[in-house]
């Protein structure tokens, strides 16, 4: 019997209350990891995981979450920076607030998520960081200049971080999902959805579980131990 080697590994997932984050939390607990998740709202406590109210835009709240996780579960091995938002509009219509909100959650939020756990990973000489980017960061998308900019930035972060932290046996990778069925994509008008679906060779949106399995692979100290600084595209063959 082979395993991904995630049993008893302490892993934190941001934005784990719903959508892709909730699917990641579920799969990782099934794989035997000790999972903590953070979110601005914790609706219903997932009994198998530790839910903590924390805002990724607030470094103090993330540092506090890191202390709680260490105290209750132990030193963190895996960090999944998943929390993200959209404030879509055409470039000429995007406001400064739309830019700030998206940069604060999707870019600074990733930094605030990863930083509090680095020291622990360096000390234990083992760790895996997975940041959720997007197809929009990879190839761009009309109406998403702010979002695409932050998702491209995340790719820059993991590529540099991968080079920086390899000597500590810590890896950093990104996943660029295509269009996935969650609350985020529910907001897309049906007409636009049909147009997008026609461009996806699989002719359907992906499911949150499709991303969760990619996360599990990149977290695995067995399956992806020599993979770092990589962008894994999970998009039903909707490449650039």
What Rg value do the Cα atoms of the chain yield, rounded?
17
The only residue of 5, 18, 64, 231 in contact with ligand NDP, by rule CB under 6 A: 18
Q: How far is the CB of 240 from ligand NDP (least distance, A)?
A: 14
Handedness of CA 206, 209, 211, 214 (dihedral sign): negative
* String of DSSP letters for 29-41: HHTT-EEEEEES-
Cα 161 to the chain's mean position, in Å?
15
Strand partners, 16: none
The only residue of 78, 120, 127, 177 in contact with ligand NDP, by rule CB under 6 A: 177
Residue 198, Cβ neighbours under 10 Å: how many? 8
Nearest one of 188, 172, 168 to 111, comparing CA atoms? 172
The only residue of 10, 12, 19, 49 in contact with ligand NDP, by rule CB under 6 A: 19
Note whether 231 binds ligand NDP by CB under 6 A: no
Q: How far is the CB of 7 from ligand NDP (least distance, A)?
A: 25
User: Which residues, 72 to 131, sit near ligand NDP by CB under 6 A?
Assistant: 82-85, 105, 109
Rank residues 171 and 233 by Cβ distance to ligand NDP and give the closer one.
233
Q: How far is the CB of 8 from ligand NDP (least distance, A)?
A: 26
Residue 169 DSSP symbol: T
Q: What CA–CA distance (Å, rounded) separates 220 from 122?
A: 17
77 assigned to active site: no
Rank residues 118 and 176 by Cβ distance to ligand NDP and give the closer one.
176
Catalytic residue among 37, 77, 122, 147: 147
Strand extents, DSSP E, 54-115:
78-81
Binding site for ligand NDP (CB under 6 A): 14-15, 17-21, 38-41, 55-57, 82-85, 105, 109, 132, 134, 177, 179-180, 182-185
């Amino acid at each position: 019997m082979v395993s991904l080697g995630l049993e008893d590994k302490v892993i934190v997932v941001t934005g784990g209350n719903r959508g892709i984050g909730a699917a990641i939390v579920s799969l990782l607990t099934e794989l035997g990891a000790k999972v903590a998740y953070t979110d601005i709202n914790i609706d219903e406590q997932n009994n198998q995981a530790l839910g903590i109210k924390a805002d990724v835009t607030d470094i103090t709240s993330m540092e506090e979450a890191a202390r709680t996780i260490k105290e209750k579960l132990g030193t963190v091995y895996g960090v999944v920076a998943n929390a993200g938002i959209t404030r879509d509009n055409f470039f000429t219509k995007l406001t400064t607030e739309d830019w700030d909100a998206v940069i604060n959650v999707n870019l600074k939020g990733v930094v605030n998520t990863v930083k509090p756990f680095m020291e622990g990973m360096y000390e234990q000489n083992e760790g895996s960081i997975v940041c959720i980017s997007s197809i929009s960061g990879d190839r761009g998308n009309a109406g998403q200049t702010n979002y695409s900019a932050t998702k491209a930035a995340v790719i820059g972060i993991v590529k540099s971080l991968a080079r920086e932290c390899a000597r500590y046996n810590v890896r950093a990778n990104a996943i660029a999902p295509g269009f996935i069925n969650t609350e985020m994509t529910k907001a897309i008008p049906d007409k636009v959805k049909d147009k997008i679906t026609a461009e996806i060779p699989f002719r359907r949106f992906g499911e949150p579980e499709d991303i969760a399995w990619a996360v599990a692979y990149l977290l695995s100290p067995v399956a992806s131990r020599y993979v770092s600084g990589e962008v894994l595209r999970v998009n039903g063959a909707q490449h650039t």
